[in-house]
């Protein structure tokens, strides 16, 4: 026996009896267990502002804000929210890209005692409606270009207060004026429910400090499909997110408050929120903000200009860098450490990126339900290519069968993890929470095996999740949109390999007899793009006479995947 608990059910395993065989592969600086203070998540910003008030927290196209400035501005936001009636554990939506607004509003919501409700600025009205109905949020911060997606919700009273944020709010002169005249105009009505950031940020009302129970009070609602494909809100507590920020920093080699992080990963995604915002703020480090992660040339310029040292991203991002025609024009050698996650990292891409930058690149693993990181390969120790690595400090992981019995090394089963970063549960979904949380262990839904050294390897997905360039796409959500099309009789969605995105969305469609030959692929794709975010919409559509089914009539997505 390697772990000492093989054959036991995780419902009877508290973790103390596990032999953590992976510890011998930890880098020398990494501790087995790190101290996780029971503080509110906003304490990370407040502590750094006290220790290093003049350190630059973020750089946005040359406009810089110090830790002192961000701390003070977030306090103003907190006062504004409380004056608007936001109370403890009330949800407040953030529908923003990576701009200073996001960081300031995020920590302001936390200071006010509220809950950050994560939302992509690419979401449509349909997607936002679900988030508002589920979270109960009635106030939010919205990037100006997303206003058309929320206007109807304001009209219907679902959004009672919308703070509109403009990119130029934080651009330095003369970029702010140039951007204002060049950008596509978005009409925002002058109405009582809508207010601009510039008016809110000058708010002078004091805010009252809120007593937070870090292990119980929710800090962030992160939407995910969980293990069923139905979008749910993962409840991440203050303690969960403080823990994972500290765990990430512990894993990094030779870190200090002089580090410069690439703020490329969207903060509205849990991977970006923790590794590229909360972790550097805990360190008092600098974050270079990129509102558009597709602007590869600017990313390379910024690495050279700012001396970026820590670069967390998804494989498609790293792939875009190494294959950019101008990559050799830039000096990327300041990058020391890269963490790749959210999708499998091709071995060849890892080698190419390390050759171009000289950086150490590791693959990690996590999910929304774990804040998100649970595993990673060591930076300086044994890095097993193709593996997601070993469990983080304070984290346990095993592979179990469908009855919850711990399996031996080499056997394939479902990954179960336990640690301070594991979620509180799903909002309003007690049955699903009880199904995936057993005795503190989270059933991840991912199939894997562990080797004799404690390194884990993902071998398949228990769920039908599709990962497009690091973004999660849940087939059921896309299928529901497809079924709204009047011509569609049956539909199924799967992920198919894509050289650039990792996977792309493919829809298999059976048309109603009267529509056959009258509806084409482009029409189906455009229909979906009008109703869900572009990355969720199918890029490929295949028309079929019928879809493969089980004896009871259930469509077999697995069979379609295997055919593609």
Q: Is-contact 34 246, C-beta < 8 A?
A: yes
Delineate the domains of the chain, giving CATH numbers in brackets.
41-52+64-211 (3.40.50.980), 466-563 (3.30.300.30)
Per-residue pLDDT of the chain (564 residues; tens, 9 = 90+): 789 999 999 999 998 999 999 999 999 999 999 999 999 999 999 999 999 999 999 999 999 999 999 999 999 999 999 999 999 999 999 999 999 999 999 999 999 999 999 999 999 999 999 999 999 999 999 999 999 999 999 999 999 999 999 999 998 877 776 666 666 678 888 899 999 999 999 887 788 999 999 999 999 999 986 444 557 999 999 999 999 999 999 999 989 999 999 999 999 999 999 999 999 999 999 999 999 888 999 999 999 999 999 999 988 889 889 888 899 999 999 999 999 988 778 778 888 899 999 999 999 999 999 999 999 999 999 999 889 999 999 999 999 999 999 999 999 899 999 999 999 999 999 999 999 999 999 999 888 999 999 999 988 666 677 889 888 788 878 988 998 999 998 889 999 988 888 899 999 999 998 999 999 999 999 999 999 999 999 999 999 999 997 654 568 887 898 887
Q: How many CB atoms lie within 10 A of CB 220?
A: 29
The C-alpha atoms of residue 198 and residue 103 are separated, in whole angstroms, by 15
What per-residue confidence (pLDDT) applies to 226?
47
pLDDT of residue 182: 63
**pLDDT of res. 207:** 86
pLDDT at 227: 45
pLDDT at site 480: 82
Closest CA to 419 of 225, 221, 228, 239: 239
CB neighbour list of residue 439: distance below 8 Å, 6 or more residues apart:
10, 11, 12, 13, 14
Sequence-distant (≥ 6) Cβ neighbours of residue 57 within 8 angstroms: 48, 65, 66, 67, 69, 70, 103, 281, 286, 287
What pLDDT, on a 0 to 100 scale, did the predictor assign at position 326? Answer: 93
Is 44 exposed, middle or buried (CB count within 10 Å of its CB: 0-12, 13-18, 19+)?
buried
The alpha-carbon radius of gyration of the chain (Å, integer) is 23
Single out the residue of 277, 299, 387, 382 nearest to residue 340, CA to CA.
387
Structure tokens at 484: 């709204």
Q: What is the pLDDT of residue 201?
A: 92
pLDDT in the model for residue 406: 96
Per-residue HEC secondary structure of 325-371 comes to: CCHHHCCCCCCCEEEECCCCCCHHHHHHHHHHHCCEEEEEEECHHHC
CA 60 to chain centre: 21
Q: Measured between alpha carbons, how far is 144 from 131 in angstroms, rounded to an integer? A: 19
513 within 8 A of 477, measured Cβ to Cβ = no
For the entire predicted model, the pTM comes to 0.88
**Cα separation, 485 vs 482, whole angstroms:** 6
């Amino acid at each position: 026996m390697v772990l000492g608990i093989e054959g036991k059910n995780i419902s009877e395993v508290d973790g103390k009896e596990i032999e953590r065989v992976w510890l011998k592969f930890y880098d020398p600086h990494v501790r087995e267990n790190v101290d996780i203070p029971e503080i509110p998540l906003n304490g990370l910003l407040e502590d750094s502002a006290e220790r290093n008030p003049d350190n630059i927290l973020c750089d946005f196209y040359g406009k810089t804000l110090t830790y002192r400035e961000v701390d003070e501005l977030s306090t103003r936001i907190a006062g504004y929210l409380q004056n608007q009636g936001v109370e403890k554990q009330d949800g407040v939506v953030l529908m923003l890209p990576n701009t200073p607004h996001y960081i300031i509003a995020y920590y302001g919501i936390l200071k006010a005692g509220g809950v950050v409700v994560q939302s992509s600025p690419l979401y449509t009205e349909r997607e936002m409606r679900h988030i508002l109905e589920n979270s109960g949020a009635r106030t939010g911060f919205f990037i100006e270009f997303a206003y058309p997606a929320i206007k109807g919700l304001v009209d219907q009273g679902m959004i009672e207060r919308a703070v509109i944020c403009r990119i130029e709010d934080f651009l330095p002169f003369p970029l702010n004026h140039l951007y204002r005249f060049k950008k596509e105009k978005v009409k925002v009505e002058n109405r009582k429910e809508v207010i601009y950031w510039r008016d809110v940020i000058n708010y002078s009302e004091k805010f009252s400090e809120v007593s937070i129970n870090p292990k119980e009070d929710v800090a962030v609602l992160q939407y995910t499909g969980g293990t069923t494909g139905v979008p749910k809100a993962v409840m991440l507590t203050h303690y969960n997110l403080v823990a994972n920020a500290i765990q990430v920093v512990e894993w990094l080699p030779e870190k200090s408050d002089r580090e410069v992080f690439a703020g490329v990963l969207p903060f509205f995604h849990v991977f970006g929120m923790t590794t590229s915002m909360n972790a550097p703020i805990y360190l008092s480090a600098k974050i270079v903000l990129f509102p558009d992660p597709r602007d590869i040339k600017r990313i390379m310029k910024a690495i050279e200009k700012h001396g970026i040292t820590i670069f967390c991203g998804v494989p498609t991002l790293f792939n875009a860098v190494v294959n950019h025609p101008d990559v050799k024009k830039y000096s990327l050698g300041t990058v020391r450490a890269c963490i790749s996650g959210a999708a499998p990292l091709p071995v060849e891409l890892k080698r190419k990126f390390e050759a171009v930058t000289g950086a150490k690149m590791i693959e990690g693993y996590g999910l929304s339900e774990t804040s998100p990181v649970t595993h990673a390969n060591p930076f300086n120790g044994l890095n097993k290519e193709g593996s997601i690595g070993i469990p983080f400090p304070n984290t346990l992981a095993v592979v179990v069968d469908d009855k919850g019995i711990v399996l031996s090394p080499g056997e394939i089963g479902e990954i179960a993890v336990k640690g301070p970063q594991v979620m509180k549960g799903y909002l309003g979904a007690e049955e699903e929470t009880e199904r995936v949380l057993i005795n503190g262990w989270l059933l991840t839904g991912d199939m894997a095996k562990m080797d004799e050294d404690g390194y884990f390897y993902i071998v398949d997905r228990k769920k039908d999740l599709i990962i497009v360039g690091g973004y999660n796409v849940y087939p059921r959500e896309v299928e529901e949109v497809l079924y709204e099309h009047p011509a569609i009789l049956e539909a199924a969605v799967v992920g198919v390999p894509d050289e650039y995105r990792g996977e792309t969305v493919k829809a298999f469609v059976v048309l109603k007899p009267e529509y056959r030959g009258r509806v084409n692929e482009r029409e189906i794709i455009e229909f979906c793009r009008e109703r869900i975010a572009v990355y969720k919409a199918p890029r490929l559509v295949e028309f079929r006479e019928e879809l493969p089914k089980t004896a009871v009539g259930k469509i077999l997505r697995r069979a379609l995947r295997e055919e593609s």
